[in-house]
Every structure is written in C-alpha cells, then in structure tokens.
Structure 1
C-alpha cells in the first residue's frame, strides 16, 4: 500500500481505500502509528477517521501485545 502522495492527496487515498486501511489494522498487521506512517498521514488524522468510521481501536493491552516485549510505548520509531 505504498504511494507517493502527501497531504490532502494521501488523506483522500486513505478515505477511498477505507476497507484496505481498516482491514490491515483490524487484522493486527500493524499498529495505528505504523499504518499512519505507511499511508503518509498523521496518526491523529487516522485515529479520527477510525472514530468517524466507527472502527474499534485496540486498548493498551492489545497494542502492547502487537508492539512486542521490551518496546517502550512512549518512544516513537
């Protein structure tokens, strides 16, 4: 799902490909921050879109499982 878009075009692409974007998150393939990075959008924007779309987000425990042991949740990658 790599594209060369930025800004509004990247956000529009995310909206147009909603099923693919939400599917990757819901399948546990990657965390919200990683998904946002790959889409070239902010994590804040993506979180708000998921809320708008009614997509359930992971709680801290599930997010921690996905990150793996020993990963500081407060340190950006």
Structure 2
C-alpha cells in the first residue's frame, strides 16, 4: 500500500508471469538469474511477460491453419 496525498492507494502484486527487467535479454530470451545465461525454452512476449515454448508449440503453417479452421468450426457449432 502507498499513501499519496493522504489517500491510501493499493499497489497490485506482480503477476507470476512478469519478470524483472534484469532477466530480459535483447534477443527475447530470458536470462537465468543464477547463471546469467539464456534459459532454454523460455521467451519474453512483446508485453514483457514470460512464455514457455515447447516442441508442441512449433507448428507448421499448415498445422496452424488446420487448428484455426477446427477452432472456428467448433465455435460456430457451439453458437
């Protein structure tokens, strides 16, 4: 909590996926705080939040297009 001009202002706690700026690498990887080297499989989103990249995330364009078409079909059938 912070007191500003006599008023109490709540400060939200950091989200679990937000990391300190010291862990950001210029190439988008996440630096391991213990070693200072890039941590395998972890990346930074454009908003600075943490993303875990796994082999299943490495889809081809055709696989992404098929997954998108399937999601649209399921959405339309549910509506």
Q: Please give the range of the TM-score, normalised by the shorter of the 2 chains.
A: under 0.3
Higher helix share: 1
Structure with bigger strand share is: 2
Q: Please report the TM-score for the alignment, with normalisation by the length of structure 2.
A: 0.27
